[in-house]
Amino acid sequence: MVALVLMVVGLYSIETGYKYQFSNNDPGRVTVYCVKKESTGCLWHVHAVSEFDSFVIKTMHSEHFCGFVCKDVTSCLMSSKLVENLILEIVRGMPLVKPKDLMTTLKTDYGLDITYYYAYTAKKIALEEIHGIDGLCFHQLKWLKNTIVENNPGSRVILDIDSTKKFERMFICFEASSYGFNHCRPIVYLDGTFLKNKHKGCLLAATAKNGNQ
C-alpha cells in the first residue's frame, strides 16, 4: 500500500514541483508531509490508510504555505520504478502506443527525458505485466485444454507437441459450435490472423452461416 501512495505522490510531485517526506512505517497507514514542514510550518499533508488493495485518504491539507516552487525534473522521487509505473498505466490504456509516443508523452506531461531503448524496454515489460509472459503462457495450454473439456462437455480440443514437448499446434471446437454447424447452410468462412508476439504463429477460425439467416 505504501508503494502505491509513494507512486501517486511521486507523480504529484513531478507535476507540481513540491517535494514530500513520509512518516509512519506501519504498512497499513502512511502520512505524507511537505518537505518544508519543519522550516516553514507548511501544513500540506495527506494521511491515508489501507483498505483492501487500495488506500483511502482520511485527512488532507492541500495548500502549501512554503512558497512557490519550479518543477524539478531531477527530483529524487522520479525513480526508475516510478517511470515504469507511469509507462505501465499509459500502456494499459493504449496497448498499441509506440515507444516514440511514450517518449513524447513523458516529455510533454512530466518533463522526463527517456531514451528510445528505455521506452521500448519499459513498454515490453508493461505488456508482460498486463498480459503475462508469452513463453510462460504455453505452459497453461494443457490447463486450458482440460478446462474447456471439463466445462464444455462434448467439446474437442487437440494439443499437439513434438518429442521435445515443444508446442506445435492446437485445435479447439466447442460443443455449441459443433452442434450449430449441423443447422447451418453449407457455407464456411475461414479466416486467419498472424500472431505478432515473440513466438509468431497463425490463428485460424472457421465460421458457418447461421441456418436461420
Q: Does residue number 33 form part of the binding site for Zn ion (CB under 5 A)?
A: no
d(CA 114, CA 81) in angstroms, rounded, equals: 13
Closest approach, Cβ 56 to Zn ion, in A, equals 23
We find the least distance from the C-beta atom of residue 83 to Zn ion, in angstroms, to be 24
The x, y and z cell numbers of residue 118, run together, are 528505455
Among 1, 9, 10, 44, binds Zn ion (CB under 5 A): 44
Over the range 8-17, which residues count as b (16 or more CB within 10 Å of their CB) and which as e?
bbbbebbeee
Interface with Zn ion, residue 34, by CB under 5 A: yes
66 touching Zn ion, by CB under 5 A: yes
Q: State how far the Cα of 48 lies from the Cα of 97, in Å rounded to an integer.
A: 33
From the list 19, 45, 47, 64, which residue makes contact with Zn ion (rule: CB under 5 A)? Answer: 64
Task: Please name the residues in contact with 21: beta carbons below 8 A apart, sequence gap of 6 or more.
Answer: 32, 33, 34, 35, 37
42 binds Zn ion (CB under 5 A): yes
> What is the distance between the alpha carbons of residues 45 and 25, in angstroms, rounded to a whole number?
16
* Residues 135-164 as x/- pattern, contact with Zn ion by CB under 5 A: ------------------------------
Question: On the CB side of 25, how many CA atoms lie within 13 Å of its CA?
Answer: 0
> CB of 42: closest distance to Zn ion in angstroms?
3
| 46: contact with Zn ion by CB under 5 A | no
Contact set with Zn ion (CB under 5 A): 34, 36, 42, 44, 64, 66
